Amino acid sequence: MKRFDVVGVGYSTIDYLGIVPRYPGLDEKMMISEFIKQGGGVTATAMATVGRLGGRASYIGKVGDDAFGMFALDELRKDGVDVERVIVQPGARSQFSFIAIDEATGKRTIFWTPSDVTLNRDEIRREDILSGSVLHIDNHFPEASLFAAEIANDSGIPVLMDGGTFYEGSAELAERADVLIASALFSRQYTGEDDPEIAARKMFIGRRRLSAVTLGENGCVYVTADGVFHHPGFRVEAVDTTGAGDVFHGAFSYGLAGGWEYSRIVEFASAVAAMKCTKLGGRAGIPTLAEVLEFIRIGS
C-alpha cells in the first residue's frame, strides 16, 4: 500500500480568474488585464500545496467526466498529487468558478456553479484513510468527511478540518477535528462570537489540539494547551488572495505530518499563504519548500 504524508477528502473545482481595475457596475463592460485558468477547490488546492512543497499527498474526491473534471485531475497530477482514489462520475457536471480580482487590493469576487457530484460515505475506503499520516478534510461532502474522520480518530491519525463556511453537519464534523482552522465567518457562525480570540478559545474543546481563526492579511489567532497566540502574518505585494486559506491549510497539514512544533507550523503556513498571494490564482504562486525557507529567513 502506498504511504502519504497527507490524505485529503473534499472537493475540487476549476477557476477562471481575471484581474480588473475595479469591479464593474451593472450593464458595464471592462477589460481584463490578466487572465488564467487553473485548478481550485478547498481540499484539492491544499493537496496541491503539499505536493508543491515536496510532500506526498493523496486527494480523495469525485468529479464528473466532463472537460472540467479532467482538467482538475491533470492540474493535481502536475503537483505530484496522487488521484488514483478520485471517482469519475459518468455524465456528471464538475464545478467551476468565475473570479474577478480587484487590481488595487487583490480582493476577489467569486461566482460559482454547483456540481452534480456528491462523495458518499460508502465510497470512502478505510485503507485509503489509513495510508496517510494526517487526514485533511473540508465540509463540502459532510457524510464522507465524517466517516473518514471517524476512521482516522479510531486509528490515532490527526484530523485537520478546514472551516470555511458553516454548513449543516459542520458542527458534528468539527467534533472529530484535532486541528480546526476556521475563517472568521465560520468561527462566528460556529461559536456566535465576533471576537476571533474568544471564538478560537471556544473552539478549543473536546479532542482539539489546536484551534485557529485566520484573519487574512492580519495573520491568525490560535489556541493550544499552552495558551493563546497571535501570528501577525507576512506582508507582501498582493496580486490575488484567491485560495490563500486553502494554501495555508495545506501547508499546515504538511508541517503537521512532519511533527513540527505548532509555532513553527503557523509561521510556515503563513509564509506559504502570503507567497501565494503574489501571483494570480490559488495555485500559481504556491512556492517550493526551499523558496519558503528563504522567504522566512529574509523576513525574520
The beta strands (E) that lie in the chain are given as 4-9, 13-20, 34-40, 57-60, 62-64, 87-89, 96-102, 108-112, 132-137, 159-163, 179-183, 210-214, 220-224, 227-231
Classify each residue of 96-112 as buried b or exposed e, where b means 16 or more C-beta atoms within 10 Å of its C-beta. bbebbbbeeebebeeee
Residue extents of the structural domains in the chain: 4-12+41-94+115-299
Question: Measured between alpha carbons, how far is 47 from 61 in angstroms, rounded to an integer?
Answer: 12
In the chain, which residues have pLDDT < 70? 299-300
Classify each residue of 144-172 as buried b or exposed e, where b means 16 or more C-beta atoms within 10 Å of its C-beta. bbbbbbbbbbeeebbbbbbbbebeeebee
Cell of 118: 456528491
Residue 50 confidence (pLDDT): 98
Residue 299 confidence (pLDDT): 67
- What pLDDT digit, counting tens, does each position of 33-57 carry? 889 999 999 999 999 999 999 999 9
Cell of 235: 506582508
Identity (one letter) of the amino acid at 12? S
Report angle CA 272, 159, 172 to the nearest 5 degrees: 120
Q: Which CATH class is domain 4-12+41-94+115-299?
A: alpha beta
